[in-house]
Amino acid sequence: MRDIQIGGLVSFTTIDYPGKLAAVIFLRGCPLRCAYCSNPHLLDIGDGEYDPGKVFEWLTSRVGKLEAIVFSGGEALMQGDALIEYMKRVKNLGFKIGLHTNGFYPDVLMRAAQTVDWIGLDYKATRDKYLELTGNAIAYDNMIRSLESWLQTGRDIEVRITCDPRFIDRAALHDIASDLHSRGVKNIAVQKYIPHFEDNAHGTTADQRNQFFDDEMRNTLNTMFESVVWRE
């Protein structure tokens, strides 16, 4: 089995795993090509810049100092069983395991479910906009399968909605929130779209990007879920 390909590392964060001091490992490779991707250098699996063995050694030195390790990307689950085996080794050190995922690999997610304690799942838009946003015709249906399967495990989840006004409007955000509420999701995050590069701003204005963060929207969504994180 090919070892995991690691393209980045954040050694300390308080915001990537709810309530835990964590580090984030960024895996290379992603099946999607989102218009707003801020990590284009990670999209091809290629060869990882970090030696997985050395990263594991470093993680060993973090026992007692960190509480959780988050696997992000790219799409970490693209690396399949190699990732799951690595996560098991990290979990055996005593860390909680977090996973940021776009939900494209529901079957791999279920194989990982015994090892992963919490996921942050992207729900990027309503179904009619998913192909245009991600460049992939099955991304929405796969994400919904991942969501349904994970909810059945009863494990922790935060569903994240990044509000890019090119692909989502206020009515769509309401629709997504209603869908999540009806499925029993308790924790969501509403994230402002921030253009990371000149060429993926495509003329969105600050007003368009801010439109999701007014009192009406906050009051409505805050009453639907146990927690709504507003990331502006």
- Interface residues with ligand SF4 (CB under 6 A)? 30, 32-34, 37, 39, 43, 73-75, 102
Per DSSP, the three-state class of 157 is: strand
CB of 184 to ligand SF4, least distance (A): 24
Chain centroid to CA 138:
17
Which residue is it, tokens 């009192």? 215
Nearer to ligand SF4 (CB atom), residue 56 or residue 197: 197
CA nearest 124: which of 134, 110, 136? 134
Nearer to ligand SF4 (CB atom), residue 39 or residue 191: 39
- Output the six-digit token pair for 62: 């973090």
Which residue is it, tokens 């009863």? 154
Nearer to ligand SF4 (CB atom), residue 33 or residue 89: 33
CB of 169 to ligand SF4, least distance (A): 20
Nearer to ligand SF4 (CB atom), residue 19 or residue 40: 40
Nearer to ligand SF4 (CB atom), residue 95 or residue 122: 122
CB of 77 to ligand SF4, least distance (A): 11
CB of 121 to ligand SF4, least distance (A): 11
Nearer to ligand SF4 (CB atom), residue 95 or residue 120: 120
Return d(Cα 69, Cα 135) in angstroms, integer: 30
CB of 130 to ligand SF4, least distance (A): 11
Q: Where are the alpha helices (DSSP H) in the chain?
A: 52-61, 80-92, 106-112, 127-134, 139-153, 170-183, 206-210, 215-222
CB of 214 to ligand SF4, least distance (A): 26
Return d(Cα 57, Cα 38) in angstroms, integer: 28
Burial class (CB in 10 A: 0-12, 13-18, 19+), 205: exposed
